[in-house]
Structure formats: C-alpha cells, structure tokens
Structure 1
Amino acid sequence: MKMLVTLITAGLALSGTALAQDIAVINGRVITNTAQGQIETGGVLVRDGVIVEVGANITVPDGATTIDANGGWITPGIFAPFTQLGLIEVALESSTNDAGASESDFSVALDVVDSFNPNGTYLATNRMEGITRFAVFPSTGHNLFAGQGALGNTSGNADSLFETQSFVYADLSQSGASTAGGSRSAAWAFLEAAFGDARAYPGRYSSGSGDALNRYDAAALVDVVRGRTPLILQVDRASDIRRAIRLAEDNAPLQIIIYGGAEAWIVGEDLAEAGIPVLMDPMRNLPSSFDALGSTLEAAARLNDAGVSVAYTTQTADGYFNPRLLPQHAGNAVTNGVPWADAFRAITLTPAEVFGVDDQLGALAPGYIADVVVWDGDPLEVMSAPTHVIIDGEDTDLTSRQTRLRDRYADIEDTTPFGYRH
C-alpha cells in the first residue's frame, strides 16, 4: 500500500491556551467504538487534525472553536467500503464515466487514482450526509479483473485519495464467468493462471508471454499473490464463496475479501473460521439472479451471529452517488436483528479494519484522525442528519450543488404569462 499523506501523530500535551486548530465538540452522546463505549453526555477535543481527548468532561482550552451538539450524537465519520465516488458524474454519458475500460488491453494494472476526480459533485452530497471516508472501486472490463482501488475522504481536496493501490478487485460471480469464457470453471481457471503469471514474474516474460496476463498486469498482481495487497472477490453464491475460501487456503498468504455475499450467511461459520470479511448490503432481499436465490434481510444478523467481520454497502442503491444511504441500510439491519452497536460499527470501524486503517480511522480515541460527525439524532434513524462533519480536523462545508440549486429556485416568483408556466 502506498500512502499519499503523512498522518499526524498524537501525544500533544494539553495546555490552557488553544492552538489555531483546536476544536471542542461538546454536549452530545458520544459513540466511541472503543472500550469506552457510549458516553451519555460528553465531548471530543481535536488538535491539529488529531483527536487528543474523549470523555464526559473534556478540557476545553481558551480560544478553542466550540461546537455544541445540543444533546445530539457525536460519532466517528461513516466509512463507505464500496463506492465509485469521483469516477462517474453522469452514468450514461461516457465522457463523464471513468469507472471501467472494457476496450483496454489492461486489467489488473488499471488504477482508479488516474481516473478519480476530487471535484465530483457527489462527494459533497455524500459528505453532508456524514460520509467521511470511502473505498473507490473500478468496474470490470475485458476480463474478470477490474483493477486497483483506493481509499479516500470526501473533503474534495486535491489530495483526498490518501491511500492508493489498496486492493485489487475481481468479479468471480456469474457475470465474471461470462467474461472469462462462459462458465465458473473458466473463471477460476483464468484466476489460477493469472496467479501463476504473477508468481513467475518477471522471469516468465523474459522470453515469452503469460498464460493469462500481459507483463504489465502480471506485475500489478505480484503484491496480491504475496499477500501484501488484498484481493476483493465479487461472489454471491454459497458454492462460489466456498471456492474462494479454498483459494485463500491454497494460496497463503493471500488475503481475500468477499464483496456481495448474498448467500454468505449459508457459509458464515466457514468464513469466520477462515477470517475472511464480507462487504454486503443488509437490504438485499430479492433473488435478483440465480446467484442470489438465498438473499434475505436476516443475512446481516446471521453473519454477525456467526462471528464474521461484516461491513455494510449500498449495493442495492447506486454506488456512485448513494453511499450516503449507509446509515439507513444499517438501521434496517437493526430492524432485522443486528444489535445497534454492531450495525453502527459495520459502517465505521469494521470497514477501517477490512482495509487495514483501523489504527487511524473508525473510532473516537486519542491519536485517531479527527473524522467526527455531529448528528441531530440517532444516526441510524432515517430522519436524523449531520449538523457538522469534521474531516482531518476541519469543519467542512455542508452545502452541495443540490442545496445551492434548491436555494436558488425555492422562492422565485413566476411572473411569466400563464401559458408559459410549467
């Protein structure tokens, strides 16, 4: 993994005088995602982008910027683990859609960092709904490998992708099988051949070509087969998930993450034993394909009970503009049997764990990056909304193109003749 920013370290001594970047968030119910649990009435102190104190009675230095939660909720920022934010502006307009490259000769080597647009309008609409961090995925092209994904924040800053080449994404579902030649046997054979090319790189290419991949793609897969970069496999069917578990066992130290997982609950104990996490949408309940006949609203609770590490997605919504619905999806998981704390963890700390950044993100604790959201109510209630979204210690703007258009046209008096009004 390659870091694009140097993370600020904690341990700064508190003093009686505030520094320029001191922010105190007070008077709210604090959800820490740590052993502290929930603090009924407390606050968080942020200094220079880092959390330095969390508790019922934090020290507020003189001159600190104070944000009063007014009895609302203070939480870590929401982490969306599967999105295409910054890759698509208008899905059906090819000039604004850089998610996939079906006509390219390359696959694994395609890197979303080269397509990501930090000025995409959907970053703001998701930020104002409490999304502070996300993983951005490419779409598959001419073979089952889509390419390399990255981790970002929704600040809209030029450096908002803070970690690149974070994972490689591949489709081993029925759609991946059709790309590979028409069957799952073909898809898994292609994947195994690609692994062989990566293991033999660069020697195999000194006098010839690979069995499945060109030289550039094989080089990009090396860190996956050596266990340094996770491989995210899109699979839904229970039999495919069992095959993915065998793949991980046979290719140690390969790191596997399951995306989709409509029938993952059927093999929950096997996934827990293998230590393989699942990125899934708790609102998938329709048999949308023969791969997903086992879809159920109780899937999240069953995986939770089996001890599987689960991070929620908005797969049934739209990945390029609706990750903002994550709290609503988590709330539905609670309705269907997941404890509130576990459901909230599934959209904050668990995604950070899946991508290996849980020592910096996903919790409110001293030393963590200051991603803090203040809500006017329970964040998993559909009518609650953020009043403040702090990213990297900066209180961000909660407006978007949508809100500006609303404000521009809300009170305009139509003075045109009746026949022109519409």
Structure 2
Amino acid sequence: MRMNILIAAAAAALLSAAPAVAQDIAITGGKVLTGTSVIENGTVVIRGGRVVSVGAGTAPAGMRTIDATGKVVTPGIVAVDSGIGASEVGSVSGSNDLRNNANTLTAAFDVSYGIDPWSFTIPTARLGGVTRAVVTPQHGGSGGGHSHDDSGIDDMTAGAGHGGFQSPGLFAGQAAVINLKDGSNILVKSKVAMTAPFGEAGARIAGGARGAQFVLFKETLNEVRLYARNKSAYERSSLRDLSLSRADLEALIPVVEGRMPLIVTADRASDIQQVLRLAREEGLKIILDGAAEGWLVANEIAAANVPVLVHPTTNLPGNFEMRGARMQNAAALHAAGVVIALKGNEGSTHRARDIRYNAGNAVSHGLPFDAAIAAITVNPARIFGFEGQFGELKSGAAGDVVVWSGDPLEPLSQPQAVVIDGVEQPMEARNLMLRDRYLPNAAGSRPHAYSY
C-alpha cells in the first residue's frame, strides 16, 4: 500500500514538472495598458505563446476567454537588478548564488548557472504580477539584486593571470534574464550585462580612493584589449603578465567592444559624471544603477543616452553619496529624457511585488502614470535589448499578461490572472499553501499536520 502511494506521488511530481503547453487565449473587456498606450474595452489575443493582436475587437470564436470587464490589463512586470531564483535566504550563504568570492573568477562569473526554477521566490513574485526578471550578481555597496551588506568586501579579488593574484575585484559578474513561468525551463538569456561597483564601494575595493579605481579600471580594460589582439601570444606564454584570469579576460571582451552593457552602480552626482566620462573615453555601453543624486545631472545622463535603474523611494542621506537623494528623482530623470526602469525593495527578490508600489510612489512625486507603467514593463526590456520581445502588449511580443482587479499601482489591487508565454499560471505560492494548511477546517478540527 505504501509503495503504491509513493509511486502515485512520484507520478504526480513528474506530471507537475512537465512543461505546460501554450494556450490560445483572448483577454476581453478590460482597460488595456499596452506599455506605450491605453485601449479602453480592449481585447488581447494570444496564440502559440505570443501576442497576435491588441485592439478593440472581439475575441475569435471558440477561443479560451478571460473576462477582464471592469479590470485593468497590463504586460507582466519586469524586475530589474533582481535576485529572484538565485537567492533563497540572503543570510544563508549556501542558498545565495548571487555573490562569488573566488580569487580567479570575477567578470566571468555567470549567475545563470545558479538559478533555481523551483525557488520559493518565483511563485511569490509571480503573484505580484512579475513575469520576467533581470537577475544580477551581488557586490557590496550596491542595490537591487546586489547587497547593501559590505561584509567581506575587502576579500574580493580580481583573479589571477600570469602575474598572480590581483586585489581588488572590479567586476561582480554577468547578469541573466529569466521568465517566472511554472516549470523548469525559465532561462531566457545569460550574459546580458556585466556589473561593476563605483562610488564608495568601488573606491573601497580599489584601495580607498575613487581616483585609484578609475585608473585601475582603465588599465584593466587596456589589458583586455591587449589580450584580445594577442591571444596566440598569450597561449604561448609570450605575452607580458596580465592581472586577470583568462576567463575574466574573455568575459570582458564584449564589454570593451561596446557589445555588452556594463551595469555601473553610482549614486553621487560627481561619481555619475566621472562614470559618463569613463564611458565616453573607453567607448563603453553603460547602464546606471542607483543614481540617487541623478536628478542633479539628469541632463548630462540624457545627453549621454544612458538608461538608469532607479529606486524611486530612496530619499534619505544614509551616507555621503546620497546627500541629495529625493523622492522626485525618477520624475526628474524622466522629464530630462532619461529612459528609467524602477526597482523593488530588498533586491527585488523576496519583495519583488514592491516594484509596483514604488512605481505608485514615483507617480505621487511627479512621474506621469503612463511613464511609471512603462518603467516597470517596456523600459526594462528596452534597456536590456529585448524591446518588442516582452514587456509590452503588441503583436509578436511574448504572451506575458496580467489582469488586475484595479489600478496596478494601487496596493489594494491584486492580479486576478497571470499569463506567461501564453500559459495561465497557478495563483498560489508556498506562503499561501502554508497559511491554508494550518487553518482549521469548517468542522473546527486541527490541521492535518497535527492529526497524528
């Protein structure tokens, strides 16, 4: 009898692990916020996992229909600078695959290998309307998927080449994009961006001064260029000693060639100016992360065509980098013409749902509502090179749709349905399952766990 139970359980587990098949779905009657426009009483049609039409027409005959009358329909939220799926408990090192402290590997660290499709953080984020995430390696002193904890930062090293070990580590590794659908195949693309801390964190790992970091950073880029031009000499050990490992050198070639964006953490206005200067001098494609004082140099950021990942509720001078932090930062950056993406709290990992709350706060401090919607949907996709592929309700884009009970930036509104790649997702998570497990039943008897 017990063997039969075990076999049945195993079969159920295998069935639940099987990938769900994309459905043909029409979402009708709702107020559709496409990410770039608004359609009243709109219809979103999804076939084969992708949006095929968005407009005011009716649903095709015979198609599975979700009635969104009186509700709001949006693209799925895209979490940037996130740790979803790569960190279970931040304080438990064995469950945190966002930070790497190896001596011989920094820039080459690929966070995608540590992503767990069965992570408890994924369904929880999904219940908050999040359907995609940019998972970003940690480094001390940064925000988002990074960690504000600077412990161990002095031990970070840049790796070892022919010349032995070099301290510090100027790079934290490479980010990845995932979707949050139920199933095991969630990696969308690895190596979408490199990460590096600047400002106080960068100065600290370079020996204590900002100037030291910039000089060391430029010298590192020169080494990468030298290696790229002389790989055969490197293989024969006839190239001068280099401070980075071969893996790190290889990983940085797309960065120095301007093909891979570099996520740069900087908050102080003067640090932002110096980073923009560095990007001009070195031909780098950068994304600013943080930019708490970005409003002070918003026109310069816009002129450089550099996007910003901004936490819109940062408003306290917690250190000398954030003396000018203010709640109007997101609004000021947008008004200057900067493409912004809004971040959640605690690394957009366990509280990824806060992304929409933060967007609402940004609206209350001057950011237009439509710009806030774009900043959590289409803009993140645009910033990381996925424009038209997700984050927007348009023909050809992924069928990532959320039906909300009301205004998605209003905390009391909740997702009524979540569709990812054309598949309706289960509206449950471990926290809800635990709640239900320990609730008394209608007869008042104790939960199953206490029935033995």
Structure-2-length-normalised TM-score: 0.84
CA contact (8 A) 2:79 2:348 kept: no
Deviates more, 1:379-388 or 1:136-145: 136-145
Hey, what does 1:53 align to over in structure 2? Answer: 53
CA contact (8 A) 1:113 1:161 kept: yes
Measured on the aligned residues, the alpha-carbon RMSD in Å equals 1.9
CA distance in 2 between partners of 1:156 and 1:107 (Å): 31
CA distance in 1 between partners of 2:376 and 2:299 (Å): 22
Hey, what does 2:380 align to over in structure 1? Answer: 351
CA contact (8 A) 1:209 1:215 kept: no
Q: Equivalences for 1:139-218 in 2 at 5 Å?
A: 139-140=138-139, 141-142=156-157, 143-202=169-228, 203=230, 205=234, 206-208=237-239, 211-218=242-249
Secondary structure (helix, strand or coil) at the match of 1:75 reads strand
Hey, what does 2:32 align to over in structure 1? Answer: 30
CA distance in 1 between partners of 2:83 and 2:105 (Å): 19
Secondary structure (helix, strand or coil) at the match of 1:145 reads coil
CA contact (8 A) 2:76 2:391 kept: yes
Secondary structure (helix, strand or coil) at the match of 1:329 reads helix
CA contact (8 A) 1:193 1:211 kept: no
Structure 1 letter corresponding to 2:435: R
CA distance in 1 between partners of 2:241 and 2:58 (Å): 60
Hey, what does 1:107 align to over in structure 2? Answer: 106
Hey, what does 1:98 align to over in structure 2? Answer: 97
Q: Select 2:276's aligned residue among 231, 245, 249.
A: 245
CA distance in 1 between partners of 2:352 and 2:425 (Å): 18
Q: How many residues align structurally? A: 394
CA distance in 2 between partners of 1:415 and 1:120 (Å): 29
CA contact (8 A) 2:80 2:348 kept: no
Secondary structure (helix, strand or coil) at the match of 2:172 reads strand
CA contact (8 A) 1:39 1:55 kept: yes
Structure 1 letter corresponding to 2:421: D
CA distance in 2 between partners of 1:329 and 1:91 (Å): 22
Structure 2 letter corresponding to 1:21: Q
Shift of 1:414: 7.6
Shift of 1:139: 1.4
Hey, what does 2:341 align to over in structure 1? Answer: 311
Shift of 1:329: 0.3
The answer for unaligned runs of 5 or more in structure 2 is 1-20, 140-155, 158-168, 448-452
Secondary structure (helix, strand or coil) at the match of 2:195 reads strand
2:368 paired with 1:366: no
Secondary structure (helix, strand or coil) at the match of 1:399 reads coil
CA contact (8 A) 2:313 2:362 kept: yes
Hey, what does 1:281 align to over in structure 2? Answer: 311
Secondary structure (helix, strand or coil) at the match of 2:349 reads coil
Q: Select 1:329's aligned residue among 334, 340, 358.
A: 358
Q: Select 1:398's aligned residue among 427, 432, 440.
A: 427
Shift of 1:156: 4.1
Deviates more, 1:222-231 or 1:135-144: 135-144
CA contact (8 A) 1:278 1:311 kept: yes
Structure-1-length-normalised TM-score: 0.90
2:331 paired with 1:301: yes
Hey, what does 1:222 align to over in structure 2? Answer: 253
With over 3 angstroms needed to count, the CA separation of the structure-2 counterparts of 1:199 and 1:56, relative to structure 1, is: same
Secondary structure (helix, strand or coil) at the match of 1:168 reads strand
Structure 1 letter corresponding to 2:197: D
Secondary structure (helix, strand or coil) at the match of 1:295 reads coil
CA distance in 1 between partners of 2:297 and 2:26 (Å): 45
Hey, what does 2:148 align to over in structure 1? Answer: none
CA distance in 2 between partners of 1:133 and 1:71 (Å): 26
Secondary structure (helix, strand or coil) at the match of 2:301 reads helix
CA distance in 2 between partners of 1:209 and 1:29 (Å): 63
Q: Select 1:378's aligned residue among 404, 407, 423.
A: 407
Shift of 1:357: 0.4
With over 3 angstroms needed to count, the CA separation of the structure-2 counterparts of 1:195 and 1:72, relative to structure 1, is: same
Q: Identity of counterpart residues, as a percentage?
A: 40
The answer for unaligned runs of 5 or more in structure 1 is 1-18, 417-422
CA distance in 2 between partners of 1:263 and 1:210 (Å): 39
CA distance in 2 between partners of 1:97 and 1:360 (Å): 29
CA distance in 2 between partners of 1:289 and 1:211 (Å): 35
CA distance in 2 between partners of 1:326 and 1:411 (Å): 34
Shift of 1:370: 0.7
Shift of 1:415: 7.0
